[in-house]
Structures are given as structure tokens and as C-alpha cells.
Structure 1
Amino acid sequence: MTVIRCIRHGQSASNAGEITEYPDTIPLTELGHAQAALVSSCFCKPPRLVVFSSFDRAVQTAMPLCERFPDVPVAVWPVQEFTYLAPHRYVGTSRPDRQDAVTSYWERLDPAGRDGEGAESFLAFWDRVESFLDRLATVRGHVAVFTHGQFLRGVMLRILCGRLGVEEAMFRFRAFRQAVAIPNAAMVVLGLSRQTAMVGPVVTDHLPPELLST
């Protein structure tokens, strides 16, 4: 069985309520870097492969593990966050500034809708989730994947519910994203075989209470 340890990135500037520019360039905070170091310490032996998204906060979270096991191959996969708001509209804003637009997007429940240039439709996001699971079917052994909260929720929902039409997937995901908390640097283990796929709980045991954040 292939064991995939999925890790949400550490606390980012956006998570901390700071003003940010573009989604892919948001860095970790000092707390986020401390969380990333604790993630690395959880690995008793090297994984077979380290995967991370191209977004800066995921790369920075993966770096302590990569530095600890420099001989392990690394790969950038399209496991980046679901960016459904057009980035150019929200340069120089914080999470509270974007909340009305977020609420409006999820009220529409339009899988094919795009907010503008640089935004992703839910349809494209769900295709990425499916493609990720298909790609994992070609991997063997223990893999570490540094990803993002909404992408990880999409993977969990897909495994738990099986194949869904995109409209039903978006309807379920809207509730799932609010019901399932995934703190920064939390881990979720996936077990994949030819016959089945399993998803474990959201784990934060490696983080002391003073280093928990969302």
C-alpha cells in the first residue's frame, strides 16, 4: 500500500491577518517556520518522495524536511490552493477584506464560474483533485505532500464520497470546507491500494498548544 502523508503549510502571512499581494507569493510567518521544523521532526525515516506545490508557503514548509533528507527526490505537483478569487482584484488586502467576496462566491454554487483572470473554477479545481489521486496510483512507498487547506479538503472529500458529479461535489465541498478544520502544519495520512483508498484523521499531536494556528 502507498502511504501518503499530506501536510498543510505552516502559518502564512494571510493566515495571520496580514496584508498580502498575490496568492502564490504569500510567505510563512515566524510561527509558520517553527511549525515547519516540527513537521520535519515527525519523520523517523526519509520518505521515498517529497512533493510540494509551487506556492511559496508550501515550498517553505517543505524545506526543513528536504534539508534533513537531501538525497530524497523532490517534485512540484499542481497541489496548490484553490484560488477562486481573481488575484489582481485583491492585491494589498487581508482575509477580512476578502470575506464578502468569498461569501458571494460560495452562495452562487457555479462550478464553471470564474471570478476573472488568474482565478480557477471549481470544475478545474475538482479535476486537479482527481488528477492528484490518479497520479498517486503510480507511486509506491511513503510520500510526503506539502499542500494547502482547501486542496486537502477536496482530496479528503473525494476519498470519503467516491466519484461525484461536479455540481454535487461543489455542494458537498461548501459544507465540508466549513465543517472540517485543518490547522496550519496539520497532517492527514492517506492509504492507497488498487482496491481501496482510506483517509485518516487530521493530526496535530506534533504541535504544542502555543504553536497551533489556522
Structure 2
Amino acid sequence: MTTVWFIRHGESISNANLPTKHPELSELTEKGHEQAKQIVKAFNQKPDLIVVSPYVRARQTAVPTITHFAPITVEEWPVFEFTYLHPERYNGTRGSDRGPIARAYWQRNDPFEKEMGGGESFAELMERNLELIKRLHKHSANFIAVFSHGLFLRALTWMLLSDQRKPNEDAMRRYSNFVQSMRMPNGSILKATFDGSQPVPIAGFDTNHLD
């Protein structure tokens, strides 16, 4: 049985509606760095493994926990954010600038669309989460901490709760509605247990460690 803590990164410059350069490179704000330090307080035991997204903001969020428990095994897995808009859309723009483009994407509701040829499709998001679920069911570690992202982790939560596995228009619409109704604050933790069986027990988003 593997206990997994899925941790959303601290507040990033994109979350704060500041100009960005590339979705992978958005760094934490001062508030985000403080949230990263507060995450350490949530642990009462050392994880066997820390998993990080390749995106800068998730890696920065993991640093205080990695430092606190060093030496510790750290691995990079494909738990990066669902970047459905082409990365060029982020160059010099704020979230509010991208809002109309993002809303148009969701209104088209095409699970296989790769926006401008370079965004990730909803189908690819589901496939990444499905592979993660399979990997965790087979993993030998007792306790894993995964530093990831809001849209990705809400897709994981939605898939675990709904048992939805096929990317189609109905699934994409349901996921969009789920995201709008399910808030996952920066620095919050989703706790789940994987033992090869279904359904996977999950708890709500824990924020007790945050000031």
C-alpha cells in the first residue's frame, strides 16, 4: 500500500496575474516561497520518495521539503501542468490577457485539440493521469510526496472519483465543470492511498499547514 500526498505548488507569478515568459518557467512569488516553507510543517514522517514536476514553480515548492529531509530520493515524473494553450501565448502576457483565449478553448470542447498545434490536448492530459494512477498502484514505496499543479491534480481527482477513462466531449465538459466547482489552493495537499484496488480512497484538500 502506498500513501501519496499530491501537493500543489505555491503561488506563482502567473497565479498573481503577473507577466509570464513560458508556462514551464513561471517562478514562485514571495508568498509562494512562504507557502513552500509551510508545507514542511504538514509532514510528521519522512517520505520514501519525493516526485517533482519539471516546471520551475513545482520544483521551487519542493525545495524546503527536500532540504528538510535530506538525504532523500527525488525523481522527476511527467506530472506537469495541463498547458492547453500554446506556450507562445504566455510570452509577455498575464492570465487576464489569456482569459478570452482560454474560454474559447473550453467552449470548443474538443478533447483532441492541440491549440495552435502546440498545446496539450485534453486526451493527452487524461493519458498522463492514467499512467500515473497505474504507476502508483504498482509502486513499492510506502509514502510518496508529489509536487505538481492545480489543473493536473484536479484531473487526477476527477478521474479517481468518476472512474472516467475515455477522452470524449462529455468527459471534457464534465472535467471543466469539476474544475470550476473544485478549488485547490496553492500549497494545499490531497492525500490518497494506492494498493492496486478501486476505488482509490482520497481525502479533501488539506490547508491546515498554511497560515
Q: Contact between 2:48 and 2:72, CA under 8 Å: does it hold in 1?
A: yes
Match of 1:24, SS? coil
* Greater mean deviation of Cα atoms: 48-57 or 163-172: 163-172
1:73 aligns to 2:73 (yes or no)? yes
Q: Which residue of 2 aligns with 1:51?
A: 51
What displacement does 1:192 show? 1.2
Q: Which residue of 2 aligns with 1:122?
A: 122
Match of 1:191, SS? strand
Q: Contact between 2:3 and 2:192, CA under 8 Å: does it hold in 1?
A: yes
Q: Which residue of 2 aligns with 1:199?
A: 202
Quote the Cα distance in structure 2 between the aligned partners of 1:118 and 1:183. 28
Q: Which residue of 2 aligns with 1:145?
A: 146
What displacement does 1:72 show? 1.4
Quote the Cα distance in structure 2 between the aligned partners of 1:129 and 1:50. 18
Within-5 A mapping of 1:10-29? 10-29=10-29
List gaps (5 residues or longer) in structure 1: 209-214
Quote the Cα distance in structure 1 between the aligned partners of 2:3 and 2:195. 9
Q: Contact between 2:23 and 2:87, CA under 8 Å: does it hold in 1?
A: yes
Q: Percent of pairs identical after alignment? A: 38
> Which residue of the other structure, out of 172, 186, 189, is the alignment partner of 2:188?
186
What displacement does 1:117 show? 4.2
TM-score of the superposed pair, with normalisation by structure 1: 0.94
Quote the Cα distance in structure 2 between the aligned partners of 1:118 and 1:77. 21
Q: Which residue of 2 aligns with 1:90?
A: 90
Q: Which residue of 2 aligns with 1:169?
A: 171
Q: Which residue of 2 aligns with 1:159?
A: 160
- Number of residue equivalences: 208
Which letter maps to 2:16? Answer: A
Q: Which residue of 2 aligns with 1:34?
A: 34
* Greater mean deviation of Cα atoms: 163-172 or 88-97: 163-172
Which letter maps to 1:187? Answer: I
What displacement does 1:203 show? 1.1
* Greater mean deviation of Cα atoms: 132-141 or 101-110: 132-141
Q: CA RMSD in A?
A: 1.0
Quote the Cα distance in structure 2 between the aligned partners of 1:28 and 1:186. 15
Write out per-residue CA displacement over residues 152-191 of structure 1, whole angstroms, 9 at most, x where no aligned residue. 0011011101133211321210101100000000000011
Quote the Cα distance in structure 2 between the aligned partners of 1:132 and 1:3. 14
Write out per-residue CA displacement over residues 78-107 of structure 1, whole angstroms, 9 at most, x where no aligned residue. 000000001113310001000001110100
What displacement does 1:138 show? 2.1
What displacement does 1:40 show? 1.3
Match of 2:153, SS? helix
Which stretches of structure 1, 4 residues or more, deviate above 3 A after TM superposition?
A: none
Which letter maps to 2:78? Answer: P
